[in-house]
Amino acid sequence: MNRSSRPPLTDSSLALLAKGYTWLPDRRRRTTAPVVRARLMGHQAVVLHGPDAVRFFYDERHVERQTALPGPVLSTLFGHGAVHTLDGQAHRVRKEMFLSLLTGPEAVGGLVECVSAAWDEAVASWPGRPSVVLFDEASRILAQGVCRWAGIPLLDDAGQTARDLVAMVDGFATPGPRHWRARRARARCEAWLELLVTDVREGTAPAPAGSVLEAVSRHRDADGHPLDPHTAAVELLNVIRPTVAVCWFVSYAAHALHRDPAVRDRLSEGDAAYAVAFAHELRRFYPFVPFLGARAVTDLEWQGELIPSGTLVLLDVFGQLHDPALWDDPYTFAPARFLGRPPERDGLIPQGGGDRVTGHRCPGEDVTIALLAALGPRLARLRYDVPEQDLRIPLSRLPARLRSGFVIEAVREPVTAGGTAKAASPRQTRTRTL
């Protein structure tokens, strides 16, 4: 069917908001065509799927990001002027700054050490508390750890900073109160960090040598100019915000360990390879990114289908991570699937695909994996009771989130590596789940 003979499409924006993560996979199952065609926010869109589509999507000759990200997403999640909005040489120079900060054993190890120390310090106080909401506590721990590592002085005890950083992620994809909370949170954090960058440049605030704060404050873009204070604040947030967002996966980790004590026992043994496999499976199995978007820079063809210039091109991330053609038993949580089998670059794409050096794949992916590989075993060795609560994860919510945040009670001292955590009593396992 040529472009002119296609019937007009009904806008699917409301359907996306209603169905969330299942919208794209459901649309894909209802067609035999290589692409799904849709209309979103008044724009024509096509949906691609699979490793070959990942390579097509991340080819800069095909798509650009500058005009693809909606204003509401920039005003909440990424920030205006962020690296995510750049293409070509401008993107590569800005991306190199992030790669220098977030990759390599020294950088990753330093951040993991700071977060792990904050975790151990916090956990020591949990036995005296009646209950702990793991999602909330993990966000505060991650905020404290990443800011300490980045050389960014906190304005409070990390509580308000953590709430603001969580709000930016929690409200980017929905209208209403969550979205406006995200905008207010971003405005507060950008103002705080703009002032900090200005003070660093004027010499009235210290920036530890080699720190993220120093690197971003001193960075020069492809045009040779330093970042303006607002853009510098945006990029500082693009280091600390994604790190704090790991709290989603910490609560998911607790959910996974609660559902399968055998996984909990094995993770507690201290096997580093299994801890990494557990981190990979958390990122594959649990919902976080529904899809990624860009815009066609010219008329394209994908498997015989025309994609006109200017069309929104969406990559179905959630659908690919649960595709039975790519994964055995995709709706079974099985960390062992990654033992002895490193993830394929364009198969496991929870943080994007393609090459992270030359493309738009998240530069903080190594950090996410390392943090989960460090915190997962700590959580597995921690002893606690699980009271009755709502452990559902609604896929209609963007971003999805464990409803209860995972509440734990009667926290005791962790078992040693290789020990077996005490089994929960029947009362402790009465939960409402999917």
| Confidence class for position 8, pLDDT limits 50, 70, 90 | low
pLDDT in the model for residue 7: 59
Closest of 237, 241, 137 to residue 197, by C-alpha: 237
Mean pLDDT of 139-144: 98
pLDDT in tens, 34-77: 888 999 888 899 999 999 999 999 998 999 887 878 888 889 99
| Confidence class for position 430, pLDDT limits 50, 70, 90 | very low
pLDDT in the model for residue 427: 39
pLDDT in tens, 362-393: 889 999 999 999 999 999 999 999 999 999 99
Predicted model pTM: 0.92
Choices 3.40.50.1100, 1.20.950.20, 1.10.630.10, 1.10.3720.10: CATH for 3-429? 1.10.630.10
Mean pLDDT of 256-270: 97
The more confident residue out of 13 and 277 is 277
Among 15-19, 302-306, 417-421, the range scoring the smallest mean pLDDT is: 417-421
The fraction of the chain above a pLDDT of 90, given in percent, is: 78
- Residue 261 CA to its chain's centroid (Å): 26
pLDDT in tens, 211-238: 999 999 999 999 999 999 999 999 999 9
In the predicted model, is pLDDT for residue 140 greater than 90?
Answer: yes
pLDDT in tens, 10-27: 888 889 888 999 999 998
pLDDT in tens, 317-338: 999 999 999 999 999 999 999 9
Domain spans in the chain, listed from the N-terminal domain onward: 3-429
- 434: exposed, middle or buried (C-beta count within 10 Å: 0-12, 13-18, 19+)? exposed
In the predicted model, is pLDDT for residue 2 greater than 60?
Answer: no
d(CA 78, CA 408): 32
Average pLDDT, the chain: 91
Long-range Cβ contacts of 209-215 (<8 Å, 24+ apart)? 211/149, 211/150, 211/151, 212/101, 212/149, 212/150, 212/151, 212/152, 212/236, 212/239, 213/150, 213/151, 213/152, 214/151, 215/97, 215/100, 215/101
pLDDT in the model for residue 98: 94
The more confident residue out of 173 and 332 is 332
Mean pLDDT of 308-315: 94
Among 195-204, 235-244, 420-429, the range scoring the smallest mean pLDDT is: 420-429
| Confidence class for position 253, pLDDT limits 50, 70, 90 | very high
Mean pLDDT of 97-125: 96
In the predicted model, is pLDDT for residue 6 greater than 80?
Answer: no
Q: Residue 320 is encoded by which pair of tokens? A: 């690919």
